[in-house]
Amino acid sequence: MKRLILTNLILSILLLSCNQAKKEADTTANTEQEKQEPESVNMVDEEPAPNVNSAYDVETVVGDMDVPWGMVFLPDGSMLVSEQKGDLILFKDGAKTLVKNVPEVVFRGQGGLLDLELHPNYEENGWIYISYSSPEGEEDGANTAIMRAKLKGDALVENEVIYKATPNTTGPNHFGSRIEFDNDGFLFFTMGERGERDINPQDITRDNGKVYRLKDDGTVPEDNPFVGKENAKEAIYSYGHRNQQGMLKHPETGEIWVHEHGPRGGDEINIIKKGANYGWPVISYGINYSGTRFTDKTEMEGMEQPMYYWVPSIAPSGMTFVTSENYPELKGSLLVGSLKFQYLEKLTFDANNKVTSREKLLDQIGRVRNVRQGPDGNIYVGVEGKGILKLVKK
């Protein structure tokens, strides 16, 4: 009898343990499912990938480069190319020369020697403008700076820092930066928000996450939108940006166009307006890299809508309009480099600047860092791990 009671007790304990284990297993499974399927989803539906146009190939112009960030074409037919790691290369008559007396850069993450641009009257004054991550300042780390200098032989001379963002931070991300002149000779440049999403972009008393406008000597134009505003950075022209690595002047309208990286989705093309707020991070078509949302808004009164946005992100860098007769089938199109998907994107627009088609050129060529149309009418593409390549028809 005792043995029967003991047996029944053991069976009851085992049955209770099994039920408890099943409950724990179910709870664990539910928890894992929640991790794998976050409540938040994309803000908008993803676009299908653009079709591949295989009609183009490349010829190497300047080879054996790591990250060719900026490039400009000098009147004598030579080219200046910036390497992110800090080298400035003069390419002339098929040979590369390292330029001396370049600014000190902090080469870390997305920082380094960045964009290059010539003064519109370069042949008269010789000024070259350079953006880079500078350690100058009291704090550790770096922030974006703009320098102008002249090229004499194989060295920069008359180096002059005309803008330096503050404060320095040790973060490795979102320095920007591109440089462009408008038709009135004003200098525009971009600076990313340095990864400080909730601090910099919406605050005009702080640098970063902005588009800036200066006179060519670094002084602030009297008609900049925030001149006279208490504690404002008066060089700011627009704000609410994330990390802008493409900038150009529209060849017909003279407008300044900028593209910028979104997070996961929500890369944007914006036409820059005086004093405008482009919304980051209050509004966005992107989500966190983890798949969760940081905002539930894609639009808000007083904030600009992008002219175009990419979902999924292509990680854009560099852009140029094709105006050359060398590529009649591309004329009027916008070319944008894709770092993420490693191709050159062609976008066409209607009269209202609405994108009507997209195509992939040079599919899987590598991470496209920059693209520019040269004075000879050819398209030159900067590809990481390769160098400067010329676009040619097959």
Amino acid at 47: E
Please work out, in degrees rounded to the nearest 5, the angle formed at the alpha carbon of residue 80 by the alpha carbons of 193 and 69: 30
Task: For residues 127-153, give the mean pLDDT.
Answer: 98
Q: Is the pLDDT of residue 147 over 60?
A: yes
239, exposed or middle or buried, with CB in 10 Å at 0-12, 13-18, 19+? buried
Q: What is the pLDDT of residues 51-73, one digit of tens each?
A: 999 999 999 999 999 999 999 99
Sketch the domain layout of the chain as residue ranges: 69-314
pLDDT at 44: 87
pLDDT at 238: 98
Q: What is the pLDDT of residues 5-25, one digit of tens each?
A: 444 444 444 444 444 444 344
pLDDT band at 41 (very low <50, low <70, confident <90, very high): low
pLDDT cut 90: percent of the chain above it: 89
Decide which of 337 and 40 is more confident. Answer: 337
pLDDT at 392: 98
pLDDT at 62: 98
pLDDT at 26: 41
pTM above 0.85, yes or no: yes
Q: What is the pLDDT of residues 271-305, one digit of tens each?
A: 999 999 999 999 999 999 999 999 999 999 999 99
Task: For residues 76-80, give the mean pLDDT.
Answer: 98
Q: Please indicate whether residue 119 is annotated as part of the active site.
A: no
Q: What is the pLDDT of residues 222-260, one digit of tens each?
A: 999 999 999 999 999 999 999 999 999 999 999 999 999
Domain formed by 69-314, architecture: 6 Propeller (2.120)
pLDDT at 366: 98
Q: What is the pLDDT of residues 201-217, one digit of tens each?
A: 999 999 999 999 999 99
pLDDT at 42: 78
pLDDT at 38: 43
Catalytic residue among 119, 174, 241, 261: 174
Task: For residues 373-390, give the mean pLDDT.
Answer: 98
